[in-house]
Chains A and B, each alone.
Chain A
Amino acid sequence: MHKKYSISGKGFISFVKDIIIWDLSGGVIYQLFLCGLVLIMMLGVYAYFLQFNSGLSVTNMSDIVSWGFYIANFTFLVGVAAAAVMLILPAYVFKDRDLHKVVIIGEVVAVGALIMCLLFILVDLGNPLKAWHLVPGIGILNWPSSLLSWDIIVLNGYLALNSFIPFYIVYSHYHNRVPDKKKYLPFVFISIFWAFAIHMVTAFLYEGLPARAFWNNPLMGPRFLASAFAAGPALISVVLGAIHSFTEFNIESRVFRKLRLIIVISAIINLVMLFSEIFKEFYTPTHHSRSAIYLFFGLDGYDALVHWIWTGISMNIIGTVILMLNPGRKNPLINLPAAVLLFFGIWIEKGMGLIIPGFIPSPLGEIVDYTPSWVEISIAFGILSFGILVVTLLVKPALIIEQQFEKQEEMATQLIHT
């Protein structure tokens, strides 16, 4: 290990100090990467400033399409957040050693995704200064009646769980202690169930609205799970690939192989369910199929989503097929572009392709198009950059500490043997 990444002392203060120092030190490319993220964030902050002052009228949302790009991204990122469970489950329950080494990266990606989710909800509020009305005690949380109140609870809970577990482990390793399983394993198991909960509840948010036939579909929850368990591990593979290629940390190819398997299975299940939905909408098109017709073919000359959804589905299918054929048998990094393709395919499908058509046509049959305004796009990219920044700044120190701990352990075992 490089000299500059050495642990300087004990206690919480030196822990934080070391993390900051490690985060800020790095090569030119790393620094440029951070600066780029900060620049995009600043654009986002500026756009939000405009939105805050003049209201949501600077977006392209309307009384008919009343949720747009923000909620679309929110919905998709919930999926990414829950994907950590696809590493946690094998790592802790089936005691998979390879995945255990990278499980922390999954958890950090989840933290980043959750922070982005909560920010997307916040920027979508018309009256963000009154957000405290949601806090039980000082405000009123309409639980259990409102599904949105459920969602707020499960998202925050999952964020707490996924922050606590890795923090505890890394903090113990920093002090060269073996973390006490009794203290964190119960939370690991809770977090596994919780990951399913954040999916199902977010799906129920839409599924529970008879007013919107396009969403009022019992397959919504299961499809959420399947697509997330494809998109999430796909993203984690890409992150691992980046760590493997751009840093001195080595990720074993066995990890990529296992992730590929998870992705392929989930993606196939997702496609089967998509096919079942398409069959229902188009074999006997009813009035309730008008949203789907709008999405896939356009309605009365309005077709803003048509090219999105076909691009999304093509990327989805191509990505799945490539990963199935597995050209990267020898070098798993070759599979990564396919993972990227699949990830963005699901992003389109689970984001814009799911949220917008729910509103079109309106309950009174009116059709309008929606494309995000530059303010919406800037704010969204600002939030995404912030998420990437959070993940970067958390993953880096975590990996350093983990590696140093491993080395210490190795040395200790060697000592015992000699």
Chain B
Amino acid sequence: MDVFKNRLKEKPFGRRAFLKRFAMAAALSSSASATGCIGLLQNDDRFQLKWKEYFKNNYRLMTPQEKEETVERLERLAQIEKHVDIQMSSKSPVDGVLFGYAFNLTRCEGFMECVTACVKENNLDRQTHTQYIRIFEMEPGGMSPETGDGKYFHEVPVDHHFYMGVQCFHCENAPCVRACPTKATWKEPDGIVVVDYDWCIGCRYCMAACPYYGRRFNWGAPKVPNNEMTQKQHYLGNRIRPKGTMEKCTFCVQRTRAGRLPACVEACPTGARVFGNLLDPDSEIRFVLKHKKVFRLKEDLATDPKFWYFVD
């Protein structure tokens, strides 16, 4: 019954949106042919899209309809401004899913395939070499990345060293979320801590509040060459961020909500990375939590990260 009601509610919206789009396209093509001046019209179109984008609401407060509209506008804008065809999703979290991550310290050999895959998948700024994942080369005797070397540049693995990957840990009790003055960053029901890049004002208070160096800021406009761009994008995930806004690891929300693994997990040649649904008793991540001795970084801060380290 409920489903039926919802459908009834949705349908006219869907049709209206379709008609509107159709009318817009018709008007566009007819006037374009009449004036023969597509450039100007496109500019005008662009202005309208930007105008609507500027005044849109926080993503969390948008209706499904509004989400669809903004995603469409962003696709159009990418076409007009960058001449790329992107497919942007606004897929919501799946019920009964809470994502968690585990990192095998025995297996990782420091190849950084994960870093490369992440940069590519998440359209990270190539100019300033933004990377969400950092790998620290550690000497035996300590478990804190503070004692490791995060800038190594040599052949790996080095004898008697181990490697430790860090990224945003998607804290259950996330200090970054509490800090944000505009609620531009929050924890989704599936446990992913996300940023609404278009709502963020760029104050960087969340960055000061994060105890794990999990956040990255776009100090300038990010640059990603068109031919390297991942075109399957998510509003809360790997879309190209505007200048002056915060970004961070999203557990590859564009992939994981569609049932795939994060790019880093897929890319790791040694199988050091484990990802899955914490609510599913048969998942690999639950197996690790049950059978391995795990620990998390800076447990004393009570941030409750959903990212565990373990050894074989």
Contact = CB atoms under 8 A, between A and B. Distances in A.
Interface in A105-155: 121, 124-131, 133-134, 139-142, 145-149, 152
Contacts of B208: 66-67, 209, 211-212, 358-359
Interface string B46-58: 0000000010001
A128 B200 CA distance: 10
A126 B207 CA distance: 13
Interface stretch (A51-59, A326-334, A389-397): A51-59
Interface string A189-219: 0000000000000000100011110000000
B167 to A, nearest CB: 11
Interface stretch (A35-43, A362-370, A399-407): A362-370
B219 A364 contact: no
A126 B217 contact: yes
Interface residues of B, number: 49
Interface in A205-243: 205, 209-212
A61 B219 contact: yes
A127 B245 contact: yes
A79 interface: no
B202 interface: yes
A126 B218 contact: yes
A127 B242 contact: yes
A142 B201 CA distance: 13
B269 interface: no
B243 A126 contact: yes
B211 to A, nearest CB: 4
Q: Interface on chain A toward B: helix, strand, loop, or mixed SS?
A: loop
Interface string B187-208: 0000000000011111111011
A365 B146 contact: yes
Contacts of A365: 144-148
Contacts of B14: none
B242 A139 contact: no
A142 B181 contact: yes
A354 to B, nearest CB: 13
A146 B166 contact: no
Contact of A142 (B175, B182, B215, B219): B182
A319 interface: no
B209 A211 contact: yes
A61 B55 CA distance: 29
B180 A142 contact: yes
A63 interface: yes
Contact of B244 (A63, A126, A142, A358): A126
Interface residues of A, number: 46
B219 A56 contact: yes
* Residue of A55, A64, A149, A358 with most partner-chain B CB within 10 A: A55
B183 interface: yes
Contacts of A56: 202, 217, 219-220, 244
B28 interface: no
A287 B301 CA distance: 15
A129 B50 CA distance: 13
A270 to B, nearest CB: 24
A61 B217 CA distance: 10
A389 to B, nearest CB: 26
B146 A126 contact: no
Contacts of B287: none
A63 B217 contact: yes
A387 interface: no
Contacts of A63: 207, 213, 215-217
A361 interface: yes
Contacts of A141: 181-182
A362 B219 contact: no
A205 B216 CA distance: 20
B221 interface: yes
A126 B202 contact: yes
B179 A148 contact: yes
Nearest to B203: A125
Nearest to B199: A133
B178 A145 contact: yes
Interface string A136-180: 000111100111110010000000000000000000000000000
Contacts of A364: 134, 136, 145-146, 150, 166, 212-213
A130 B220 contact: no
Given A126-B243, A134-B201, A139 B182 contact: yes
Interface centre among A125, A205, A287, A364 (most CB of B within 10 A): A364
B79 to A, nearest CB: 23
B181 A211 contact: no
Nearest to B148: A365
Nearest to A62: B219
B184 interface: yes
A148 B181 contact: yes
Nearest to A54: B220
A55 B219 contact: yes
Contacts of B204: 66-67, 124, 126
Contacts of B211: 210-211, 363
B117 interface: no
A287 B146 contact: yes
A56 B128 CA distance: 13
Residue of B136, B200, B217, B219 with highest tally of chain A CB at under 10 A:
B219
B209 to A, nearest CB: 5
Contacts of B144: 365
Contacts of A66: 204, 207-208, 217
B210 A211 contact: yes
Nearest to A61: B219
A127 B200 contact: yes
A378 B181 CA distance: 28
Nearest to A213: B211
Contacts of A152: 181
Interface of B: 54, 58, 61, 128, 134, 136, 144-148, 150, 166, 175, 178-184, 198-205, 207-213, 215-221, 242-246, 301
User: Sorted from nearest, which 5 A-B pairs have the closest CB atoms?
Assistant: A126-B202, A126-B244, A365-B146, A211-B211, A57-B220
24 contacts: A55-B218, A56-B202, A59-B219, A61-B219, A62-B219, A66-B208, A67-B208, A121-B203, A125-B244, A126-B219, A126-B244, A126-B245, A127-B202, A127-B245, A133-B58, A134-B181, A134-B182, A140-B58, A142-B182, A145-B178, A146-B178, A205-B205, A209-B208, A211-B175
Given A55-B244, A66-B204, A139-B182, 14 more contacts: A63-B217, A125-B203, A126-B203, A126-B218, A133-B201, A134-B182, A140-B61, A148-B203, A209-B179, A210-B175, A211-B211, A359-B208, A365-B144, A366-B150
